[in-house]
Amino acid sequence: MKKALITGITGQDGSYLTEFLLNKGYEVHGIIRRHSISSTERIDHLFDNSEIGNKKLFLHYGDLTDSSNLNRLLEKIGPDEIYNLAAQSHVAVSFEVPEYTAEVTGIGTLRLLDAIKESNLNCKFYQASTSELFGGLAETAPQNENTPFYPKSPYGVAKLYSYWITVNYRESYNVFACNGILFNHESPRRGESFVTRKITMAVASILAGKQDKLSLGNLEAKRDWGFAGDYIKGMWLMLQQDKPYDYVLSTNETHTVKEFVELAFKQVDINIEWKGVGVDEKGYDKKNGTLLVDVNPKYFRPAEVELLHGDCSKAEKELGWRRETSFLQLIYMMVDSDMREILGVSIEEYLYKNK
């Protein structure tokens, strides 16, 4: 039985990866941080299963800022594969806590790689690199493994360090280490302050009368949004190859935030009509003129990544990886899940009742 260690197991990707690896017959170990209230909501359904918790899935307290803890855990667990998914992963927040972001999202990766090197552990290492490395310059799209890096946030810069230290430990010490340069991937388990989940929750909350409107920042930003459940398979595939390389995973499509808003409301039969420009731009329900979306400059970032559009042909060719969920399917899945959670009905039930 192969053993995997996942940092960031309580996050969106960590939870899907855990399900995936358990299904493949792995023994999965995860590092969790101490919180004043539980942070394991995304993996409770696994850990609370008596066949899995402490039999196939083991949780250990730890933190990417604590080298001695990481060294001890690596020695104790002896994993065959390490997936480094832990990070302060919010781009906007990284402008508020730049030093902490560097410490966790940057130096945390070095701590893990050095623990592997010092313990002579024969294991494979996956680093959660990101399309934020590219900086979203329009002239570089579609971005692939050869596109120059130009990070635009403390998060992006911290990830740049992690990218290169991963390459460096591969080249210097022969560690089987791969960077997965992943474009945005979302799901019903996405953190609530990322734009996609903020939008899909708002659709349900507005219908439930719990929220009057949705306030956003840059509506024109373009992202290449895929489904997280598809992307974790690519992470695993990278570690199953004979040689370690870096790969882009993306959908090869790009859409604006505005388009995401329109399609999310469209799922519940609301058509958005836009009026005004810039900070005065507003989205109304075309049927009755109700204000549903406005712009609040507090969500603008000091520097913005304008256009992400990936080209994952290397992963398609060499790993046989391909996204399976379309942009529309992703939006439907997220709105449907938030409708069930917040309103207590599925999209289908809601549309039937409101025919």
Query: Using only C-alpha atoms, what is the Rg of the chain?
Result: 21
> From CA 194, how far away is CA 191, in angstroms rounded?
6
> From CA 355, how far away is CA 350, in angstroms rounded?
9
**Closer Cβ to ligand NAP, 1 or 37, answer by number:** 37
Number of residues that bind ligand NAP (CB under 6 A): 26
**Closer Cβ to ligand F7E, 16 or 183, answer by number:** 183
- The DSSP result for 201-268, as a single string, is HHHHHHHTTS-S-EEES-SS-EE--EEHHHHHHHHHHHHTSSS---EEE--S--EEHHHHHHHHHHTT
101 is catalytic: no
Region of 5-13, 50-58, 280-288, 315-323 interacting with ligand NAP (CB under 6 A)? 5-13
Tokens of 347: 């999209």
**Closer Cβ to ligand F7E, 220 or 348, answer by number:** 220
**Closer Cβ to ligand NAP, 191 or 344, answer by number:** 191
Site for ligand NAP (CB under 6 A): which residue of 46, 57, 82, 87?
87
130 is catalytic: yes
Of these partners, ligand F7E, ligand NAP, none, which one is at the site of residue 221 (CB under 5 to 8 Å by kind)? ligand F7E
Q: Is 106 in the site for ligand NAP (CB under 6 A)?
A: no
> From CA 18, how far away is CA 322, in angstroms rounded?
20
CB of 315 to ligand NAP, least distance (A): 14
Of these partners, ligand NAP, ligand F7E, none, which one is at the site of residue 340 (CB under 5 to 8 Å by kind)? none
Query: Which residue's beta carbon is nearest to the bound ligand NAP?
Result: 11
33, 101 contact by CB (below 8 A): no
Burial class of residue 98 in the structure, from the number of CB atoms within 10 Å of its CB (0-12 exposed, 13-18 middle, 19+ buried): middle
User: Which residues make Cβ contacts (< 8 Å) with residue 80, sequence separation at least 6?
Assistant: 2, 3, 4, 123, 124
- Residue in 180, 198, 308 with CA at minimum distance from that of residue 253: 308
**Closer Cβ to ligand NAP, 134 or 350, answer by number:** 134
Of these partners, ligand F7E, ligand NAP, none, which one is at the site of residue 65 (CB under 5 to 8 Å by kind)? ligand NAP
Place of tokens 């701590």: 111
Paired strand residues for 7:
31, 84
Q: Give the Cβ contact number of residue 273 at 10 Å.
A: 13
Q: Which of residues 111-170 bind ligand NAP (CB under 6 A)?
A: 128, 130
How many helices (H) and strands (E) in the chain? 13, 15
CB of 34 to ligand F7E, least distance (A): 23
The residues that touch ligand F7E, with contacts defined as CB under 6 A, are 89, 91-92, 130-132, 183-184, 193-196, 198, 216-218, 221, 223, 257, 299, 301, 304-305
CB of 294 to ligand NAP, least distance (A): 25
Place of tokens 């990417």: 64
CB of 204 to ligand F7E, least distance (A): 17
Q: Which of 155, 231, 332, 350 is catalytic?
A: 155
Region of 61-69, 254-262, 297-305, 322-330 interacting with ligand NAP (CB under 6 A)? 61-69
User: Which residues make Cβ contacts (< 8 Å) with residue 59, sequence separation at least 6?
Assistant: 9, 29, 30, 31, 32, 40, 47
Q: Is 85 in the site for ligand NAP (CB under 6 A)?
A: yes
255, 310 contact by CB (below 8 A): no
> From CA 44, how far away is CA 116, in angstroms rounded?
29
Tokens of 238: 């990278």
Of these partners, ligand F7E, ligand NAP, none, which one is at the site of residue 39 (CB under 5 to 8 Å by kind)? ligand NAP
Q: Hey, which residues are catalytic here?
A: 130, 132, 155
Interaction site with ligand NAP (CB under 6 A):
7-8, 10-14, 31, 33, 35, 39, 63-65, 85-89, 104, 128, 130, 182, 184-185, 191
